[in-house]
Amino acid sequence: MSEKSIVTLDRLEKFCSEVLIKAGLELSDAAILTESLLCAELRGVSSHGVVRLSTYLNRIAAGVMDINSKMTIEKEFPASALLNANNGFGQIAGAKAMDIAVSKAKTSGASVVAVKNSNHFGVAAYFGLRAVRENMVGLVITNSSPAMTPYNTKTPLLGTNPLAIAIPAGEQKPIVLDMSTSVVARGKIRYASLVGEKIPLGWAVDSDGRPTEDAKAALKGSLEPIGGPKGAGLSLCIDLLCGVLTGTALTGEVINVTDTSGPSKTGHLFIAINVASFINPQFFAQNVDKVITHIKSLPSASGGQVYMPGEIEFNLEAKRLKEGIPLANDVLADLGRLAERYEVSKLI
């Protein structure tokens, strides 16, 4: 665990934009990607934040991701579209796709927009929040590289395929559920292995598909899905909708973001539901607020505070907007190397 330094949001934003523009991204696209990376940092999802910048740029350098790609529309109907990211950034494709979904839902009531031939799209909540800003419910799913086994098998084929659901509220913060279909992230097991700790049963199976408490054996095996066959089934369905329905990848074919042997074969699906097409939006907002205040007023089981999905992240965002973003010094060193490569000013 390296020490951390605080960087202001403005400084980090300027840095990311400069690097990305020097790397060849158009101004508006660099702004979207930067916004997504900062969204992750502000919300405390540092695994999907600026630490990914060099990973993404490495993919471009290796020729397995295209910085100059333009997204194209392959099929379009009043409430659906299939977009081709043409192997560009997932964040940029995803933001544009959700915006198209929102625009279609404004006239059609709801819409489903899928993206083929894309890449790692960062934090799923980012796209859901774009829908919420327009007073819509946003649903977001993506396929990802193999990490879990189909139920009752030993072969990791399924990704931890996350899903995000964002629901607008009134005075309260929106509900933003952003979850993988695995019990825990692989990072938690990597940490346990590093510090020599056992992991709880239920987190992972070994390479023979047997539940294990041994973190090293777990890293050679697979993550456990939530609810056994339920989480595995959910992940499979997300895979079929994002990989197969878009014509991007069969289950098991997605390539990890750090593997530069070929295009990542990532696909996403975005659903926008226009609240106003179903109910008076003010009435809806008031009722969501009522549910939130009711739940938050309940006695807690732990004795601590009761939080809604996404609330801890919103609180952290408010704090980091004021106080700046803590970055691990090894991440800062990594960003320093990028500064040299792209000839921009270092962060610190």
Residue in 230, 319, 337, 346 binding its own copies, rule: CB under 8 A = 230
Q: Is 237 in the site for its own copies (CB under 8 A)?
A: yes
Phi first, then psi, for residue 63 (nearest 5°) are: 80, 15
Name residues whose C-beta falls within 8 Å of residue 62's C-beta, 6 or more positions apart in sequence: 260
- Told to check if 316 binds its own copies by CB under 8 A, we report no
Span of 43-51, 191-199, 281-289, 321-329 interacting with its own copies by CB under 8 A = 281-289
183 binding its own copies? (CB under 8 A) = yes
Give the footprint of its own copies on residues 203-222 (CB under 8 A): 205, 208-210
Q: What is the DSSP letter of 80?
A: E
Q: Binding to its own copies by residue 73, rule CB under 8 A? A: no
Please tell me whether residue 72 binds its own copies under the rule CB under 8 A.
Answer: no
For residue 118, state whether it binds its own copies (rule: CB under 8 A). Answer: no
Q: Pick the piece of the chain touching its own copies (CB under 8 A) from 28-36, 44-52, 85-93, 153-161.
A: 153-161
How far are the Cα atoms of 74, 103, 111, 113, 151 from residue 78, in angstroms, in the given order? 14, 10, 8, 11, 37
Q: Which of residues 241-280 bind its own copies (CB under 8 A)?
A: 241, 244-247, 250-252, 271, 273-275, 277-279
User: Measuring CA to CA, how many Å separate 43 from each of 40, 166, 191, 214, 242?
Assistant: 5, 14, 21, 31, 25
Residues in the chain: 348
- Minimum CB separation of residue 116 from its own copies in Å reads 9
Q: Is 100 in the site for its own copies (CB under 8 A)?
A: no
Quick one: which of 11, 13, 307, 314 contacts its own copies (CB under 8 A)? 307
Q: How far is the CB of 202 from its own copies (least distance, A)?
A: 8
Nearer to its own copies, 20 or 308 (CB): 308
86-121 burial code (b ≥16 CB/10 A, e <16): ebbbbbbbbbbbbbbbbebbbeeebbbbbbbbbbbb
Residues 121, 154, 181, 190: what is their CA dihedral angle, to the nearest 10 degrees?
A: -70
- Measured from the CB atom, the residue of 290 and 337 that comes closer to its own copies is 290
Of residues 321-340, those binding its own copies (CB under 8 A):
none
| 302 C-beta neighbours (distance < 10 Å), count | 6
Give the residues across from 111 on adjacent strands: 272
**Binding pattern to its own copies, positions 17-56, x when CB under 8 A?**
----------------------------------------
User: Is residue 301 within the footprint of its own copies (CB under 8 A)?
Assistant: yes
Min. distance of Cβ 185 from its own copies in angstroms? 12
Asked if 142 interacts with its own copies (CB under 8 A), we say no
**CB 317, min distance to its own copies, A:** 18
The C-alpha atoms of residue 266 and residue 270 are separated, in whole angstroms, by 14
Spell 179-218 as b/e; 16+ CB within 10 A means b: ebbbbbebebbeebbeeeeebeeebbbbeeeeebbbbebb
